[in-house]
Structure 1
Amino acid sequence: MKQFWVMLIKEWKEALRSYKVIWIPVAFMLLGAMQPLTTYYMDTLLETLGGLPEGTVFEVPLPGAAEVLTTVHSQFNQIGVLILVLAFMGILTAERQQETHIMVLAKPVSIASFVLAKLVYTALFSTGAYAAGMLFGTYYTIVLFGNVPAGQITAGALVFLLWLVFIAVLLILFSSFMKSSGAVAFLTIASALFLHVTASMFPETLQLSPGMLALHSNALLVTGEPLELFAGSMTVSILAILIFPILSCILFRKQKLA
């Protein structure tokens, strides 16, 4: 257990040195604030930048506050996920390429502590960045569009956070056996996109897919109730989050011995 904490602290120190603890949360804050602001001032922006004839009146109907929060989640699910994957795609592959993992594992550090510390660090960092962005998005949404019940926001945020943790687990899984950071990023983004798109297109068929988590999250934000078979989708996602790290340790051990 001590090895795990030492490795986890090492990752956070590296995040401080590389300024990840600053620019990633700031990027999420901007994403969170941008959507409600641009939605609210869309008609003004169109009048200013759209080159419309003088005297033209252009009014964009404002969506409800809960609908705005779902668009905030859409930003996190696209640009936010891209930022996180690109930021952490080399968390294992870079050390393997530079062979620094050999020096670390030569010490009394187990492969499980090494891999799981990186996973927990990635998941915690993603949680913090998302929380910062969601806080900004919720604040501007409430100020500009009105209140959303706190229970709906909390439930929707927790389910979406589980989706981000699942993506972090996928990234570590691919990093455990891939040698290229670019390949890790591509596979992670492609897998997350595939799961989300297929779940959106075939929600009745893929009700147990982890890709349903973002859809459940939006339903909770808008109505306070998830879609059908919510418990099944949650169960499959949690099982994957628990099993994939074990598989990651096994695959990384095989790569180390190869």
Structure 2
Amino acid sequence: MVRCLQPPARAQEPAGKDDARMRTWIGALAVATLLASSGCNSLQYMETEELWAHADAAFDAGRYGDAIPYYDEILSRSRENARAYLFRGISRERDSDALGAFRDYARAGDLGDPRGLLYRVDLALRSDDLAGATGDLGRLKDMGLRGRDRVAQLVLLATLRLKQNRPRLAAQNAERALREGEALRDPGAEPFLASARYTAAHAYYRLGDFQRAYEHFDRYMSSPEARQSPTDHYLHGLLAYLAGDYVAANEHLAQADPDLVDEAASILDDPSFGAGER
């Protein structure tokens, strides 16, 4: 499953004169006071550069709901601004407005930004809208994606195949994402590589190739992107056990959810599962 689609790096808006940039930041407190007293209508009096500065500051601080009115005003001035649709979509999704995000991602994609479609596929997959994900991945196929976007496309395709119960195709696409992502030598691609390893591990598990499943999950768990949750430690230990590495299995299972460990021990009919040295 996709666990890592991150906000894209923002292309900077054209820089204005130094005095305009200074006014943007020095006037921040005054603008905040004005907004509090007169509401969002005051945004119409701000320069577009100021709107972007405040939107970016709110977005980067994780105040997604605060960023949305700025994107609204930017879009009221330019209905063809793909970047504003993309970042408003991300803000809406993180502010629990999935439907609004879905529409904004679609509009960004229609305006030629493939990242809008990538985000929409990610959202569709997490909502189990496989038909929607399939349609958007079909559109992306002819867009000639490169770099991180290409790796993200392959990871999303692998996730779709896994959800369609086609583990062999899922493994193939995940492996391709890993080859292309590692060749980039780009630290920014690591979240996509982690997701590819996670997906590959689940695909190989379904194929009964427990050794390869364990190898991929082991690398996933060593990445900074791994959540290190009790459930992840359980999966790590289970795959190690199935691959025949019982010492590693017990080490991982010691950090796992004990209820899951007990349940698996019963299913496997092996009371030593997760109980210490074999």
TM over 0.5: no
Report 1 or 2 for greater relative contact order, CA contacts < 8 Å, sequence distance ≥ 6: 1
TM (norm. structure 2) is 0.24
When normalised by structure 1's length, the TM-score is 0.26
Greater per-residue helix proportion: 1
